[in-house]
Amino acid sequence: MRDHFELQAYDAGGRLGELTVPRADVTVETPALLPVVNPHHETIEPGRLEEFGAEMLITNSYVIYGSDEVREPALEDGLHELLDFSGAIMTDSGSFQLAEYGEIDVTNTEILEFQREIGSDVGTPVDIPTPPDADREQVEREMETTQHRLDAAADFDAGEMLVNAPIQGATYPDLREQAARDAYATGLDVFPIGAMVPLMNDYRYGEMIDAVAGAKRGLGEDAPVHLFGAGHPMMFALAVAAGCDLFDSAAYALYARDGRYLTVRGTEHLDEMEYFPCECPVCSAHTPAELREMDDDERTKLLAEHNLHVSFGEMRRIKGAIRQGNLLELVETRARAHPTMLDGYRALLEHVDQLEATDPASKDAFFYLSGESADRPEVRRHHERLARVSPPAELLLASDPDAHAGADAAVWAVEPPFGPVPRGLDQTYPLTAELPERLDDRAYRAAARGITRLAETSDADITLVDDGWPASALDILADSVDRSPASGE
């Protein structure tokens, strides 16, 4: 067991945790956002990042290694002194430069030694970031190279420095799972899912989620998962619900330099804005017109501050949602911001069995917001648990059980999307769900699957009172289920 990562609470695949970083002597609450700091281009002084909520940041050890300006100060005074940051510091190894330029002039062992010497709290070996859509042979070959380097990192004397074990595999979920399993077996400490930036840049969130789900299948629950390069607040909730714990963002600064303004629904361009839809200190004290009139440095600094405020605000919102048990409602709200986010949410729900394994059995409320709600883990769990029920020999299912009080058969409620509601359970989660009056067909189809599950796992003679169910739901009922028209038909 990895005793440096302790889990506190779950919702779907999302979790609250504590990552103990011994070299920094700090504990970081997860999910956590790590601002990316370039020591040559500090849009915001690293020492100020704690004002926004940063407990950990990330910088590139390869950039420091190759810089005459900062290499010696880093070796002499240490990374924390160089960056004036008292929290935990993670360092990347140069893999990004390797992906961009095809080569770097440092070995795996040399960069690990350098990270240890400058006082990194979490170091990274040089993995091979295979791009999406590479052919399978290339992916497997580069995975093998990465694994050799992880094995070497596991044998390296890192002292108190935690060491990342990056997971590659491109867009092959089975290879992501294999890479994760091999990385986990090294005994290393933190597990970044690598080479994801191209997918996110192209809004391929469905494939991103499939890659994350594959990696999660290969990892133990005590493995902290870092989604490398995931810096836009729009997708934080989705990635957390899939099981990611750490995120790093250069977007706050890069977008600010380009006049771009982050929101939880996407990105706005300052030149096109008349009002700021935000309550952060920057937006409360300035108008878009005022920022446009400022010099480039001041405007960039204030935009970066806003971008950090909205990013850390979303991370706090996600933590609260996990604690309250409504993370998937937040994900669904964010999914409506962009069609490709909806692709990501639907991909997430295709892995419902993984989500159900850690999703709490009881929460405060279930809100049915759209057809996607019919595929949530709570619905799947209810259907599976119907196999444990022993219904009466003659069972009538009706949306209004009281209207059939005189029936010869026992009467249970039927509630889309859950299906049969055994007596005495109607006030238990998730059957206390808040539902719209106008349900979509997917809710009824989910309920029909629940009825079929009960029919297939019991000997009861089941009759459904058909009071306007759509044909698409009735068509998937088990043949053994009889139908009866509603009263008055």
pLDDT, residue 61, reads 93
pLDDT, residue 424, reads 86
CA distance 322 to 10: 6
Question: CA torsion sign, 424 to 430 to 431 to 433?
Answer: positive
Q: Given pLDDT bands bounded at 50, 70 and 90, which one contains residue 40?
A: confident
pLDDT in tens, 198-227: 999 999 999 999 999 999 999 999 999 999
Closest CA to 229 of 201, 270, 266: 201
Helices 108-117 and 136-155: angle between axes, nearest 10 degrees? 50
- Burial of 35: CB neighbours in 10 Å, binned 0-12, 13-18, 19+: buried
Evaluate whether 51 touches 27 at the Cβ level (below 8 Å): no
User: Given 1.10.110.30, 3.20.20.105, 2.40.30.10, 3.40.50.2300, which CATH number is that of 5-355?
Assistant: 3.20.20.105
Q: Catalytic: which of 11, 68, 77, 92?
A: 92
pLDDT for 304 beyond 90: yes
Evaluate whether 427 touches 444 at the Cβ level (below 8 Å): no
Annotated binding site for Zn(2+): 278, 280, 283
Closest CA to 360 of 385, 346, 378, 374: 378
Q: Given pLDDT bands bounded at 50, 70 and 90, which one contains residue 166?
A: very high
Mean pLDDT of 411-440: 93
- Return the SS3 of 372: helix
- Return the SS3 of 254: helix
- Return the SS3 of 121: coil
Sequence letter at residue 317:
R
What are the beta bridge partners of residue 68?
Answer: none
Measure Cα distances from 394 to 25, 178, 391, 412, 415 in Å. Answer: 64, 49, 8, 11, 19
pLDDT, mean over the chain: 94
pLDDT, residue 157, reads 96
pLDDT for 90 beyond 70: yes
End-to-end CA separation in angstroms for the chain: 62
CA distance 93 to 97: 9
Question: CA torsion sign, 373 to 377 to 380 to 382?
Answer: negative
pLDDT for 1 beyond 60: no
What are the beta bridge partners of residue 29?
Answer: 18
Mean pLDDT of 123-136: 94
pLDDT, residue 103, reads 62
Predicted TM-score (pTM) of the model is 0.94
Mean pLDDT of 20-30: 97
Mean pLDDT of 25-38: 96
Mean pLDDT of 354-378: 94
pLDDT for 14 beyond 60: yes
pLDDT, residue 489, reads 47
Q: Given pLDDT bands bounded at 50, 70 and 90, which one contains residue 434?
A: very high
Task: Retrieve residue 8's tokens.
Answer: 């506190």
Mean pLDDT of 180-195: 97
Q: In the 8-state DSSP scheme, what is residue 476?
A: T
Alpha helices, DSSP H, located in 366-440: 377-385
Residue 92 appears among annotated catalytic residues: yes
Sequence letter at residue 413:
A
Mean pLDDT of 113-128: 96
pLDDT, residue 404, reads 83
Domain extent listing, the chain: 5-355, 371-484
Evaluate whether 449 touches 486 at the Cβ level (below 8 Å): no
Q: Given pLDDT bands bounded at 50, 70 and 90, which one contains residue 488?
A: very low
Annotated binding site: 127, 195, 278, 280, 283
Annotated binding site for substrate: 127, 195
pLDDT for 100 beyond 70: no
Mean pLDDT of 230-235: 93
pLDDT, residue 428, reads 93
Q: Given pLDDT bands bounded at 50, 70 and 90, which one contains residue 420?
A: very high
pLDDT for 248 beyond 70: yes
pLDDT, residue 94, reads 76
Sequence letter at residue 106:
V
Q: Given pLDDT bands bounded at 50, 70 and 90, which one contains residue 3?
A: confident
